[in-house]
Amino acid sequence: MKAFILDKYKKSGALRFGDMPEPALEDDDVLVEIHAAGLNPLDSKIRDGAFKPLLPYRPPFILGHDMAGIVARVGSKVRRFKVGDEVYARPRDGRVGTFAESISISEADLALKPKNLTMEEAASIPLVGLTAWQALIERASLRKGQKVLIHAGSGGVGTFAIQLAKHLGATVATTTSTANVEMVRSLGADVVIDYKKQDFEKVLSGYDVVLNSLDGDTLQKSLSVLKPGGKLISISGPPDPDFAMAQGLNWVLRQVLLLLSLGVRRKAKRRGVNYSFLFMRANGEQLGQIASLIEAGIIRPVMDRIFPFEATNEAMAYIETGRSKGKAVIKIR
């Protein structure tokens, strides 16, 4: 099968378009013919080697963390899916590879595609949808009447998280650039901070939750926005000891991550707030619940551009500019 392959870790290095063997199918696996694949900053970070100590990849391997497609074969123990089903997924860590014509995915990571979405729209959802779900519902237990600040509201995670937070009944603030103010308002943001004109930490206070996807400076400033007992959840780091334990990292790496997050954890403790790092995980059951919200018209995908399969490297370069509104997707079939 054709695929975009990472031969060696290299900052801004090009992926190689070439042939890879058809994926093996275990008893609990589903072989999916991929029609579209979403792109995420995580793809660039892995290519650059940023997660080399933390994730179990050894080049050459295929990148890509989002996909939508059609079931081609099922393993002997698969019960929830059949050949011909339209599905979508974020494959689990260690088994990614959606920049390809096919992928073998654990049944537990897969869900039926929302019926009202195209393949390209569906491929834009899994990683950002699961990230927002696990941050706001699992980690934050966000509920009606609470206040949440979602940074980078026009990005992939931000556009989904704003809609989910509004559905949960929260008051939503977000940061964005001047060009995207109206877009994030249309998604449901109640308070919009144009970061080119305002400092969010001087305008906002008394928030229950902050979802951070930006740099360390933004992370530190976010502490002052929270009220005592509030939760600062970061998907951009620094990783904390709980993440190190969950990943089963060795003692040395656990100590490194403990030190990396020590500063922000100490400041959070002094303010009486909780800091945690979220690295989302694959979950087909949650994707099923997300599909129900999409089919009900509660959440809609926000698409920026669709690239042809052969332009995957150009698509990677585009999302690295940080200017995409919502998600960029590659059309494979």
**Domain chopping of the chain, boundaries:** 2-125+301-331, 128-277
- Determine which helix (DSSP H) or strand (DSSP E) holds 130, and give its type and residue range: helix 126-133
CATH of 2-125+301-331, one of 3.30.70.270, 3.40.50.720, 3.30.300.30, 3.90.180.10: 3.90.180.10
pLDDT digits (tens), the chain, 333 positions = 999 999 999 999 999 999 999 999 999 999 999 999 999 999 999 999 988 888 879 999 999 999 999 999 999 999 999 999 999 999 999 999 999 999 999 999 999 999 999 999 999 999 999 999 999 999 999 999 999 999 999 999 999 999 999 999 999 999 999 999 999 999 999 999 999 999 999 999 999 999 999 998 999 999 999 999 999 999 998 998 898 888 888 898 899 989 999 999 999 999 999 999 999 999 999 999 999 999 999 999 999 999 999 999 999 999 998 888 999 999 999
Distances (CA, A) of 9 to 4, 127, 310: 14, 22, 21
The size of the chain, in residues, is: 333
Radius of gyration of the chain (CA): 19
Q: Which one-letter amino acid corresponds to residue 305?
A: R
From the candidate CATH numbers 1.10.8.60, 1.10.760.10, 3.40.50.1010, 3.40.50.720, the one assigned to the domain spanning 128-277: 3.40.50.720
The answer to whether the pTM exceeds 0.85 is yes
What gap in Å lies between CA 79 and CA 74, rounded to an integer?
Answer: 9
